[in-house]
Structure 1
Amino acid sequence: MGLGKTLTTLMFVLGTSHLARDYQQSNLSNPPVQCAATLVISPFATLSNWEKEIQTHFRTKAIPYVVFHGRVCRGITREEISASPVMLTTY
């Protein structure tokens, strides 16, 4: 604990987000699903830690994210998922 694994992963996602956009916009014969989200699957006990790390270390909206868990997931739209580079969920 406290070794920076979550923060390192988030920095990697932020640092490579332009590559995901470029790939999405490339001329492919079979266009991929229009979503550039990184799916983070964590135990329920650490889900709030992911949110806290994003809120603590990044400017507001620097890494938009959605939490797909429990009742919250019922209100999430396809557009919100497509616009968020990170989706947090549990097993």
Structure 2
Amino acid sequence: MKISSAVAIYLLFWWGCLFLVLPFRLRSSQEPEAHVPGQVESATPRFSVGRTVLWTTITSAVVFGCFYVNYTQGWITADMFDLSDYARR
């Protein structure tokens, strides 16, 4: 696999993992925290972009590592899936 392909696939995994990680560690404003003037009640009082990026990077590295090991070892390939029934419909 070329390095440019690996980087492109990693970035796809990163963006996918961002949406996976994003809802974790969010607190509702129902919890005792000071509200910012003009803040909507449903908005989170604190959001850590750095922590979210860190967890997204860690998660996507693990997922990409699993993908790359599968790519090199050939555990699951496209030939293992019989999609001929779906093509006839």
TM range (shorter): under 0.3
Name whichever structure is richer in helix by fraction: 2
Choose between structure 1 and 2 for higher RCO, CA contacts under 8 A separated by at least 6 residues: 1
Higher Cα Rg: structure 1 or 2?
2
